[in-house]
Structures are given as C-alpha cells and as structure tokens.
Amino acid sequence: MVFHAFDLFHLHGTGLEIDQYAVNAVARACGVGALGQAAFGNTTIGVVATNARLTREEANKLASMAHDGLAMTIRPVHTSLDGDTFFAMSTGERECELLPVLVAGVRAVSAAILDAVRSAE
C-alpha cells in the first residue's frame, strides 16, 4: 500500500487537522494497530558526539543533518507538534574532512534509534 502524507490530514475551519481515522488505517495496514493521538506529539532530543575537530558552523551542520537519521527511521517525523532537537559535540582530537563526519552522524542517529527500538522491553 502507498500512502501520501496529505492523506493523513484534512482542512478544517481553523486550518489543517489530523485525520485520526486515516492515521489509524495506515497504522493497521502497517501492522501496528491504532496509534491514537500519541503518534503526533512525540519529541526526540539527541546528541551527536565526535572526536573530529569542528568549527561552530560545522557542529551546527552536524546537528542539523542528524535530523536525517530521524527521517530515515521514524514515521511520522518533524510534525508541527514535535520539538525534535539535536546537538553536536566535538572533542576536537582529530582533523577530518567534514562530509564523512556528517554522513557518519546521520548513520549513527539512525542506528541508535533502531537499536533502542529493538532493545526496548
């Protein structure tokens, strides 16, 4: 089945509202069961830490790209009711090219989320 994000919302007098019936239908189709309103009010906060030497701007870019790791593993993500936030920290021990650090940050966030879900009891 293919679902589009627009299928989960509808216009109502004051703006865009969640179509809870559509959300639960998608959840059941994915084998999850009814999600309820909880699916649209979750916040994820995280830290991406590295030993790469980063400038302030590079650390901000790393924190920003960490959100791609969320998008790879969490559905829905970045809704208007979420407060998803990532921080980046660096010990500055190693000089590195920026792109591999950014890619590793995205993959680390994705892997950490999957590990947390699989390890939850």
How far is residue 59's CA from residue 6's CA, in Å, rounded to a whole number? 34
**Nearest by Cα to 69 from 26, 18, 118, 105:** 105
**Nearest by Cα to 66 from 116, 98, 111, 107:** 107
- Give, as one character, the DSSP assignment of residue 78: S
Q: Give the type of residue at 22.
A: A
Catalytic residues: 43
CB 90 within 8 A of CB 46: no
